[in-house]
Structure 1
Amino acid sequence: MNHSHLKAFHAVAMQGSFTKAAASLNLTQPTLSDHVRGLEDRYGVKLFKRHGRGVIVTAMGRALLEMTRKQHATEVEMEQLLSSSRGMLSGHLRIAADSPFLIMPLVKDFASQHPSIKVAIDFGNTQWVSQQLIEGHFDIGIMPEPSHHERLVSTPFRQDEIIFFVSTVHPWAKRRNVALREIEDQRLIIRETGSYTRSLFEQELRRQNIISQQVLEIGSSEGLREAVALGLGVGIIQAGELTLDQRIQPVNIRNTKLKVIEHLVCLKEAKLVPVIKAFIEKIIP
């Protein structure tokens, strides 16, 4: 079996485009197309269907992709294992997280211990993080719930409480805590659908038959923070994410303990890749 053909197939399947895959492998598009065609012709199968400017993986292609994902992870593991013989880990670590406020201190500590590892980070809600890991675009995910997908493994590493936060000019800013039901008279500022913190909070509202009349939905944690700081309403946040900001004030929710357990998530087959293993062991000794 031609390794170059398999590598070309894997790149196209992961990128969803021959153009992007060719760029990622530093090949011309005709060369990449020849590799994929060679694989299809040799075994008499169809691995992709054209769809607009991209491609859709066929049923046979999806089955093969499951195998090439494992092969790719094994190759990365072997390369990093051999590199580690020089006494210093090197390579790349791609992290998908639901918030910058929790992951940045962890990355800072890890980078200081492993300066030869290049770290890339991107942010999105819980659903996005999980999907990015499954599709192989990232190595590690940080999110406030365990993943139940069969290809992922989750490890809890910290617990946090959901609280309100308001601008310093808001009437609640002078109070240490408020009852959850008081949110009925306020504009609630929340993240978009797919946010686990939002989902957990809304479940508690339904359990207590509380209806928030005014809701402002914000698509990022930074945007939510700015909206609250400008006095547009009351936000919800994990207590550990509330960094110092002279414009906002935390307010506890009385008689309601909404707990979020942050999890470190990765593909099962990637857990022993040296770079990924080193990061996991840094967070969870």
Structure 2
Amino acid sequence: MGGESLLEVLNVRIEGSGNRVIVLSHGFGTDQSAWQRVLPYLLRDHRVVLYDLACAGSVNPDHFDFRRYSTLDAYADDLLKILDSLGVSSCVFVGHSVSAMIGCLASLRRPNLFQKLVLIGASPRFLNDRDYHGGFEHGEIEKVFGAMQANYAAWVAGFAPMAVGADVPEVVREFSRTLFNMRPDISLFVCRTIFNSDLRGMLSSVKTPCYIIQTAKDVSVPASVALYIKAHLGGKATIDMMPTEGHLPHLSAPALLHQALRRALAQR
């Protein structure tokens, strides 16, 4: 990473001045700007840590090490390094999509660092299996990879409205912007990494209390996956089913998500 620190490379910033620390970690195809609509609600009482995943379009792509980021463990390493560099000894972690699993992995290594994990649109495996409905067949995913490779712009134009789900054109534009910001080869590589991951076996080792936030209709994660996660986690788990659709509620339904986050933070 040359002379730059990890905090500089991943654009780490801290907002607010409360005693309780909340870490916001975004999902695939977005960056920390995805939290802007819910951030004002959180700043009243919390110190909020925001950062970009190494694959985000807002991070210099020269820093993306394809070998290192071939598993989600490297992202969990980055998260722990960030918190150590900031001197954070206790926090609530809020992770969207792939970051939900990154938070779970980090909690296995440092359970005392995390008071609670808030998992938004989480999935330990996106592919269907014999007794598991992840939402996608292997052949479908190969077609997605082929489309990304053949014409990234056309793929984004189709994928963004599907992922947003709700009819919110400005959110589709916003999600398209951050997808376009990603270098296409990095985007495809990360997509492959996510879809080839199977973290179901890890769930029983996660003892940190988890609050699972799921939208009623999500093209990327069937509601049954939230039930599966709750049933297989090793600690206390709660599901909060939001009466909205889409994989990006922090963009498309921020007020509703804020209510869910308030419930998550209030729960003892």
Please, what TM-score do these two structures have when normalized by structure 2?
Answer: 0.32
Report the TM-score, using the length of structure 1 for normalisation.
0.31
Higher-Rg member (1/2): 1
